[in-house]
Amino acid sequence: MKALIVGAGGQLGHALVATAPEGVEIITCDQDTVDITDPARVAAFVAEVAPDVIFNAAAYTAVDKAESDVSTAQAVNADAVGYLAAAAKATGARLVHVSTDFVFDGSATTPYAPEAPASPLGVYGRTKRAGEEAAGLDALVVRTAWLYGPVGGNFVRTMLRLMAAHPQLRVVGDQTGCPTYAPALASALWSLAAQGTTGLYHFSDGGQASWYDFAVAIQDEALAAGLLQKAVPILPIPTSDYPTPAQRPAYSVLDCTKTYALLGHPATPWRDNLTLMIEEIRKNG
């Protein structure tokens, strides 16, 4: 099998390369290789590569900046997905596209099933929802949440930096979701792609947490691994005390039951994968 990984320079793209099954031929591209907002360039590149499957790990993820940069978010998160879908159809490839929990408004109190009505609160969520629709019925679309991994900027690395530099942290405690380790998501995507799965699915690590819970766990794990020299107080605050340009869903836990059934096992608990991430940082920085 030949796989094209779009957005290979990001944390999910890197994880897809690192977890690729043996025998798979990997072709990578990032924004320096192919402008995915250029339909002619996308069509030509995919035709040249002739992959069996295309993993789209590229996205405009600057949630707050998207509120004032609508055109770029639309181009990357929605229009480009349509170009990839068209190129996949023209070459006989299958498209695997990754979306987000931000397509929901957070008003639920139980995990969101894939079939739950989408109602995004901001530009990022709206453009990602448009991307899901642009992927088409023949694609595999997998929503995930709170992604972090060994490569790239993410909440774990930000918290470690702030914990080392400040005597106290204030972290939002009234937004609930589930941290997801990029290598775990990547492995799930490979497995679903190998099964020829199409349609809309959810995947996150097991359990749920607030950002405050996540921050406390990061500090605990980092102290145990020797990445931090001392603990600092972490105070939970309401979202209203940390205003941002984009509104976040208060509750965005994803129901992954259907996905776990296809994978043949439940997801690893998020705290266990956080331990793996901290160990990765301890060994490799």
Dihedral of CA atoms 209, 211, 215, 220 in degrees, nearest 10, equals -10
Average pLDDT over every residue of 13-30: 95
Q: DSSP string spanning 87-98?
A: HHHHHTPEEEEE
The whole-model pTM stands at 0.95
Contacts of 127 (CB under 8 A, 6+ apart): 60, 66, 70, 73, 74, 76, 77, 78
- The answer to whether 196 and 260 are in contact (CB under 8 A) is no
Distance CA 96, CA 218 (A): 31
- Measured between alpha carbons, how far is residue 64 from residues 124, 210, 229, 244 in Å? 8, 19, 32, 7
- Measured between alpha carbons, how far is residue 262 from residues 121, 189, 257, 273 in Å? 30, 11, 9, 21
pLDDT per residue over 84-132, tens digit each? 999 999 999 999 999 999 999 999 999 999 999 999 999 999 999 999 9
Asked about 124 being catalytic, the answer comes back as yes
Average pLDDT over every residue of 55-71: 97
Helix pair 155-165, 270-284: axis angle to 10 deg = 60
Contacts of 181 (CB under 8 A, 6+ apart): 148, 149, 205, 268, 270, 273, 274, 276, 277
CB-count exposure of residue 230 (10 Å: 0-12, 13-18, 19+): exposed
Structure tokens at 90: 């023209």
Confidence (pLDDT) at 284: 87
Distance CA 203, CA 19 (A): 16
Distance CA 185, CA 29 (A): 19
125 three-state secondary structure:
helix
Beta bridge partners of 144: 100
Q: If one looks up domain 2-284 in CATH, what number appears? A: 3.40.50.720
Residue 193 has pLDDT above 90, yes or no: yes
Contacts of 56 (CB under 8 A, 6+ apart): 6, 7, 81, 84, 95, 96, 97, 98, 135
67 three-state secondary structure:
helix
Average pLDDT over every residue of 33-42: 95
pLDDT per residue over 129-151, tens digit each? 999 999 999 999 999 999 999 98
Domain ranges of the chain: 2-284
Average pLDDT over every residue of 272-278: 97
Q: Which of 124, 148, 181, 212 is catalytic?
A: 124
Helix, strand, coil percent content, the chain, rounded in steps of 5? 45, 20, 40
